[in-house]
Amino acid sequence: MKKVGVFGSRRRVMRSYLIKRMFDTFQRLGIEVYVDKDYYEALSAELGETPYYNGLIESDDFDLDIALSIGGDGTFLRTAARIGNKEIPILGINEGRLGFLTDINRNDLEDAVEDIFKNYFRVEERSLLQLCPEGAAQLASYNFALNEVALLKRDTSSMLSIHTYIGEDYLTTYQADGLIVATPTGSTAYSLSVNGPIIMPTVNNLVLSPIAPHSLNVRPLVIPDDCIIKVRVESRSSSFLVALDGRSEVFPAGIEFCISRAPYTTKVIKRYSQTFFKTLSDKLMWGIDSRQPF
């Protein structure tokens, strides 16, 4: 019997009839279902009844065969952070906007659940980043990121000076509004919005993408993911932001960080019909000629 955990966003609850059909499918197939407590409360309010389940997930201490993340890519990232190094594969069901991580359409929900029950799916291993402040500084939260680590100016117009080393070799000092260090998975997220390259999610690379660099000859750089990146951030402002998959913290200027590949991966469930190239075509509308009449 499969033990499935359901995670989602309180602010974005899938249409009630689809949710009910999903839980009815779980029950029909004899799947053991555990639901994140916060999401369960939102579901109950939306459905007006108690959905079928075997228990609630109230902490980060849980054991599952598969996790379902219902929402957008942000919900998927939060689910991945909850799972951490438990090696539980995650299926992303899109209830958001673009959705590169959550590429299962709501209309394919029942078929996706059937495939899970039949073990008819593949699992991709996605690399993460680990961020370690040097010296006495500490992160208050989870210091791993599936998409990216971003160093960002905070509340002034002054740019950052980001002294960057690859291993022991000095690379450059980015004079910019910030710097994004992205995984291949994150190459279609924040990094893409600042003209970073798209990288296949299963390759062993990282990309450094400056944000609004104050020099036209500074461009995104792709490096092997076994490199260790060291940065020291200076600014006319007294502080700057460090964001890991959107979770941000404030640090004083002058702090040094080490960014490296994490010692574990996030496992992402993909249906056999869903490839990275099909996702690019669907999400970015590649191959569609806007000159042609509909």
Amino acid at the residue 64: L
Q: In 104-159, where does DSSP find H-type helix?
A: 109-117
Is 66 strand, coil or helix? Answer: strand
Two tokens, residue 246: 């959107």
Looking up tokens 């910019």 gives 176
Q: How many residues does the chain have?
A: 294
| Longest CA pairwise span in the chain (Å) | 61
Query: Which of 258, 241, 259 is closest to 250 using CA atoms?
Result: 241
Query: Among all residues, which ones are annotated catalytic?
Result: 73
Is 166 strand, coil or helix? Answer: strand
The long-range contacts involving 105-113, CB below 8 angstroms and separated by at least 24 positions, are 106/14, 106/15, 106/18, 108/271, 109/18, 109/21, 109/22, 110/21, 110/22, 110/25, 112/271, 113/22, 113/25, 113/26, 113/29, 113/31
- How many CB atoms are closer than 10 A to CB 217? 5
- How many CB atoms are closer than 10 A to CB 90? 25
- How many CB atoms are closer than 10 A to CB 144? 21
- How many CB atoms are closer than 10 A to CB 142? 15
Cα radius of gyration rounded to whole Å, the chain: 21
